Every structure is written in C-alpha cells, then in structure tokens.
Amino acid sequence: MTIPTQMSLHGFIATPPELTYSKNDVARFYARIGVEQWRKEADGSFTKLEPQFCDLVMFKTAAERAYARFRTGDQFVASGYVHEYEFDRDGETVQREEFVARRIGHDSARTRYSVERPTPERETGPTTGRDTQRRVEPTSTAVGI
C-alpha cells in the first residue's frame, strides 16, 4: 500500500491576507508568502539568505477559515499543489505560478497556540466542517437514586 502524500510548503504570511468572492460566490483567500532560505557554509554554519516570495491561494470554506485565522507574519505549514498559469499583460504573455493550499495550519515548531477540542456536547460535523450541537435527552427523571 502506498502512503498518500501531497506537496507541502512552510513559510510566513508576508502581506495582509485578502478574501474575495467570485461571480459564483466561491470564496478565495490570497496572500503573498515568504519562504526562508538558508545556505550551509563549509564550516557547518548556516547563512540566512533573502526569502523567496510567491502567491498562496485557497478556495471555498477553507479560504474563509484561513482568512479568519491568519495574519501578516504568521508562520504556517500548508499542503496542496503548484498551479502554473499564464495571462496577457500589455500584449505580452506572462507566466506565473501560485501555491494552491488544500490544508493550512500554524507551524507548531514556531508558533505558540492552544487547541480547542470538541466536547461531547459540541462536535464538528464530518462533511460540513461546521459546528453542530448534539442534543442529549435525559434517560431518567429519577432523583437521588
């Protein structure tokens, strides 16, 4: 059996995230991101280089969640794929690429955070991803047994 994998990327949010909606009301998260670069020296030390910058996008509900949770400077880890595309600018064809994140989270190695886990009374729905309330009916009305 092969382990299913995806391309991953870790970096930092370099510009304020933007949330826009298409004509079909599909949410799109966009941010310019930076990826730190290091060079190993002959003596075993590392020299920090200028970061490499690229675009990161997400769509639909994931885009709305990312927009609510990420700010400029946040360190993240994302999985997804690289989308290459081209467009015309002033009569010239320009080729670009962007990282399309399917999943994203704060980098636990570089970020302090707390985790809020669902309680039995409040669970996350498996298909919608939205919080759903579970109603618990009493099984007995007896008191002081």
List the one residue out of 118, 117, 112 whose CA is nearest residue 132.
118
Please report whether residue 2 resides in a domain: no
Statement: residue 140 has pLDDT above 60 = no
Please report whether residue 133 resides in a domain: no
| pLDDT > 90: percent of the chain | 73
Q: Count of domains in the chain?
A: 1
List the one residue out of 51, 58, 57, 102 whose CA is nearest residue 73.
51
Strands (DSSP E) contained in 92-145 are 92-106, 122-124, 131-133
Q: What is the CATH number of the domain that holds 24?
A: 2.40.50.140
**Lowest-pLDDT choice from 64-68, 75-79, 109-113, 134-138:** 134-138
**Lowest-pLDDT choice from 1-10, 11-20, 66-75, 121-130:** 121-130
Please report whether residue 67 resides in a domain: yes
Please report whether residue 60 resides in a domain: yes
The pTM of the full predicted model, rounded to 2 decimals, is 0.74
CB 101 within 8 A of CB 35: no
Residue 100, SS3? strand
Going by the DSSP 8-state scheme, the letter that residue 40 receives in this structure is: E
Query: What's the pLDDT tens digit per position in 80-107?
Result: 999 999 999 999 999 999 999 999 999 9
The tokens for 106 are 């704060």
Instruction: Give the position of tokens 């309680």.
Output: 119
Please report, for the chain, how many H helices and E strands are present, in that order: 1, 8
Q: What are phi and psi of 122, to 5 degrees?
A: -135, 110
Please report whether residue 80 resides in a domain: yes
